[in-house]
Structure 1
Amino acid sequence: MMDIHQILKQLPHRYPILLVDRVVSLEKGRSIRALKNVTINEPFFTGHFPHRPVMPGVLILEAMAQAAALLSFETEGLTPDDQTMYYFAGIDGARFKRPVEPGDQLVMDVTLERAKAGIFKFKGVTRVDEELACEAELMCTIRRISAGA
């Protein structure tokens, strides 16, 4: 398990783009279950949409990618620093099955399918109240960056 303080030590993201509130389970090299509590105070709801707030699908995918990053760092035994970046490299088969609205809690289950040469492939499934909200295959990579980049 990880609380928000531990997550902040692992992810470089901060408000308004930090999209993981808690990790409820993590098995190195295999899977992670993470939570995102969606509130009306999210900045994107102002414009998406004013009369019927819906969380943008791309942010649901980003939330799953952040959970995948936490799994990758734990699996590799890495502690992120200013020279380590975790990039979203690809998405396949993204499907959105229900809208995510204020008051919902995203339960994200991400499974590591394959890891080779710093490239990770995952299967992600997000549910709200046990109902499928989103599923996708994610590809991410960890890269060292130079001081001038």
Structure 2
Amino acid sequence: MAALPHRYPMLLVDRVEMIVPDQLITAIKAVSMNEGFFQGHFPGRPIMPGVLIVEALAQAAGILAVESLGLANSGKLVYFMAIEGAKFRAPVEPGCLLQLDVEFVQKRASVCKFAGRASVNGKLAAEAQFTAMIADPPSA
């Protein structure tokens, strides 16, 4: 995932299935029992934390923004700014493929809005609308 600055263990997109710049992306996260968060969330009944499902959607949106706005090799980063209407509909368990569908809703100056849905086997697991900003990385 060269379009993202994230790396293990925070890289939550395994592959892109489809991307239509300026419109939408479908990406996949293969949810494995080897994910570190399952050790404590929850022992005996592992469930992917909702905040990480939203992060996976945000990362898919970041890939869509990079491709749509020609940001590859620009040095710019996509920063997650706000989330609205997050709803968690079904648990995400180890062994499933989490499908991440994100729509590019709007761009104004350096601010982009997205709508995302995460599902497993066609069943909605989570949804949210979120805002991101395109900016230079902080100086060291």
What TM-score do the two structures reach when normalised by structure 1?
0.90
Aligned counterpart in structure 2 of residue 72 of structure 1, from 62, 65, 69: 65
Task: Output the CA distance in 2 between the equivalents of 1:146 and 1:54.
Answer: 34
Structure 1 position 147, deviation (Å): 3.1
Distance in 2 (CA, whole Å) between partners of 1:102 and 1:128 is 11
Q: Which residue of 2 aligns with 1:107?
A: 99
Distance, in Å, in 2 between the alignment partners of 1:24 and 1:35 is: 7
Would you identify which runs of 4 or more consecutive aligned residues in structure 1 move more than 6 Å? none
Q: In structure 1, what is the equivalent of residue 127 of structure 2?
A: 135
| 1:86 aligned residue | 78
Aligned with 2:118: secondary structure?
strand
Q: Which of 56, 62, 72 pairs up with 2:49?
A: 56
TM-superposed deviation, 1:142? 1.2
Deviations 1:38-79, CA, capped at 9 Å, x for gaps = 000000001101110000000000000000000000000111
RMSD: 1.1
Residue segments in structure 2 that go unaligned for 5+ positions in a row? none
Aligned to 1:126: 118
Aligned-partner SS, 1:63: helix
Give the TM-score normalised by the residue count of structure 2: 0.96
* Contact 1:36-1:105 within 8 A present in 2 as well: yes
